[in-house]
Amino acid sequence: MSGAIAEAFARAREENRAAFIPFLMAGDPDLAVTGKLLGALARGGADVIELGVPFSDPIADGPVNQKAAVRALAAGTTLTSILELVGRHREELGVPIVLFTYFNPIHAQGVEAFAEKAAAAGVDGVLCVDLPPEEGAREYVPAMRAAGVDTIFLLSPTSTGERMDVVGEASSGFVYYVSRVGVTGGDTALRSALQGELERVGRHVDLPVAVGFGIATPEQAAEVAALADGVVVGSALVRLVEEHGRAPDGGQGAVEALEGRVRELVAALGKAG
């Protein structure tokens, strides 16, 4: 594996805080602005950046991210152009990049070819949300590991202990825990059972666990940071881009708004003690 993601979590742990993982949809409103937004995330304090690959038929994305994917596809964004974007910016960012994608775009390129291209572009990990780890074990996981790219899989409140074991074996870098049943979005309260669920995950998974879905405010981020190794915020940031990204200023308003919001969220991630 690249090791960059593991190093990011280790650094956050040494600083007695949870790692911050912001999500943006690549190509919303276009890839030129996305490049500027990546810089805003890094300057704001992101430990790992999750970059969405727009897909025509998403199943894990809520309305905010779905609309962002539609805008990105309308702007002509493709997996190839996203890899080119990462290749242009990865070194200057100094922050690991994780692609959040569905399997279709990977399959269209060919799994081994995609793994090699992703590694060459500087992608550090891939979260393929609709690929079960059992199926991924056949070709996807071996190809990604051979290329040095981390494979990140999902767990949820409905995951069994056996499922957690399988995901723990298939994952590297970190495991993404979905904080609720449903799709992405930041409009609901966090579930009171989250602490017990994460303790259970920890008995099955020997990797950092990042929690996402439904986290929007610094207060929610602080609540999750007390329990998890990492905090993922997506829809709330995508909404900011939607509000500011198409202004006739080349994306500068979105850059400033995003960097400020990320700083607020990062400041909330310290752990007690």
For residue 96, is the peptide bond before it cis, meaning its omega torsion is within 30 degrees of 0? Answer: no
Taking the complete model, does pTM exceed 0.85, yes or no?
Answer: yes
Return phi, psi of residue 22, to 5°.
-80, 150
- Which long-range contacts link 266-269 to residues 24+ away (Cβ below 8 Å)? 266/20, 266/44, 266/45, 266/46, 267/218, 268/218, 268/219, 268/221, 268/222, 268/225, 269/12, 269/17, 269/18, 269/19, 269/20, 269/221, 269/222, 269/225, 269/231
61: annotated active-site residue: yes
Cα dihedral 245→249→250→254 (10° resolution): -30
Catalytic choice (28, 30, 47, 50): 50
User: Per residue in 67-98, pLDDT tens?
Assistant: 999 999 999 999 999 999 999 999 999 999 99
Helix (H) or strand (E) segment spanning residue 125 = strand 125-128
How high is the pLDDT of residue 187? 47
Q: Where are the domains of the chain?
A: 4-266
How high is the pLDDT of residue 131? 96
- Token pair, residue 133, equals 């780890």
Cα dihedral 175→176→180→183 (10° resolution): -140
30: annotated active-site residue: no
Of 105, 24, 38, 31, nearest in space to 75 by CA: 31
Topology of the domain comprising 4-266: TIM Barrel (3.20.20)
Q: Which residue has the tokens 């974007």?
A: 85
- Token pair, residue 52, equals 């969405």
Catalytic choice (61, 150, 197, 223): 61
Q: List the alpha helices (DSSP H) in 101-210.
A: 103-109, 111-121, 133-136, 140-147, 161-170, 194-202
User: Per residue in 244-263, pLDDT tens?
Assistant: 877 778 889 999 999 999 99
> In the chain, which stretches have pLDDT less than 50?
182-187
Query: How big is the chain by its Cα radius of gyration, in Å?
Result: 17
Of 262, 271, 269, nearest in space to 22 by CA: 262
- Strand, coil or helix: 177: strand
Residues whose CB is less than 8 angstroms from the CB of residue 253 and which lie 6 or more positions away in sequence, other chains included: 244, 247
